Structure formats: C-alpha cells, structure tokens
Amino acid sequence: MSRGRRLFSLGGFGVVPAMGAAFMAVIAVAQASAEDYIALETSQARILRLARPADSVVIGNPSIADAVVQDAQTIVLTGKDFGVTNIVVMDKQGEPILDRELVVSRNTRGTTRIYRQAEVQTLSCTPPYCEKASTKNGFDDK
C-alpha cells in the first residue's frame, strides 16, 4: 500500500472519532443549556438555595413567577402563570449571585381536556370527582 493510500485510509477512520467528538460536544452544549434555566410549574413552589447571602431579589415579570425570601440564602419560587421570565439575585455589594431564566409550564397532572367541536374544557380530576379547572394559572381554554 502506498503512503498516499495509508494517509487516506487513516483519514477515513479519523472521521468516525471526529464525528463522535462533535456529537459529544453537542450533548455537552445541550446539557449546559438545559441548566441555564429553572423549570417551574403553575401553582407549585420550588426551593432555591444560594451559595452566598442575598441582599435583593428581582423577578422580571411578577405575573409569571413569585419569589419569597425565606432567609439570606434560601428563596422559594412559585410559578403563577405559564411563560418565561427571569430572576436576578444580588449580594450587598450589588454583585450578581444568580441571573437565570425561569420557565413556567402548566401543571397538567390530574387534568383532563374535553374537546367538543371548537370548544375545549379542562377538568381537574382528583378521584373520585372531576370539576372545571380554574381559569387562573394557564387553564383558560377560551
């Protein structure tokens, strides 16, 4: 086999590891971007623990999410309505501790949707009963 063919042959095998490395890089980016936001559900609370004491907490759109400061290093986040907003937490020196996107989705566990032609009705079901779901927190079907 000539030297040119060997180089070509090695180059052909080098494509597979390069593709594997590129695939792993895509997975690493996907994992990093998955951690760039905090997922919440409507009408559900989530505890957020901070690395250092906070002085101020700002929610970009308070109609989507709410933050209650439990203590200097603990914040309780509550999803109010589905949508996307952000949270900014700063220390006493005004340095950011946290600046993340909040993604609030509907809590659909225990719900059923009934479709009648163009009308949609959402029922909240807790055995043994189902009742019309609240129109607040993303369940407005009209």
| pLDDT in the model for residue 73 | 95
Average confidence (pLDDT) over 2-15: 44
This prediction's pTM: 0.59
**Through-space distance between the first and last CA atoms of the chain, rounded to whole angstroms:** 73
* Residue that wins the pLDDT comparison between 111 and 42: 42
What does the pLDDT read at residue 127?
Answer: 74
**Which pLDDT score, from 0 to 100, does residue 35 have?**
62
C-alpha 57/C-alpha 65 separation (Å) is 12
Whether the Cβ atoms of residue 17 and residue 25 lie closer than 8 Å to each other = no
pLDDT number for residue 135? 54
DSSP the chain: --HHHHHHHHHHHHHHHHHHHHHHHHHHHHHHHHTTEEEEEBT-EEEEE-SS--SEEEES-TTTEEEEEEETTEEEEEE-SSEEEEEEEE-TTS-EEEEEEEEEE---TTEEEEEETTEEEEEEEETTEEEEPPSSTT----
Rounded-to-integer distance, Cα 23 and Cα 15, Å:
12
The token duo for 25 is 């890089």
Average pLDDT of the chain is 76
| Whether residue 99 has pLDDT greater than 90 | yes
Q: Which of the residue ranges 23-27, 74-78, 104-108, 126-130 has the most confident prediction, judged by mean pLDDT?
A: 74-78
Range in 14-28, 45-59, 84-98 with the lowest mean pLDDT? 14-28
Instruction: Tell me what the mean pLDDT of segment 37-65 comes to.
Output: 94
User: The sheet that has 74-79: what strands, in order across it?
Assistant: 45-49, 74-79, 65-71
pLDDT value, residue 76? 96
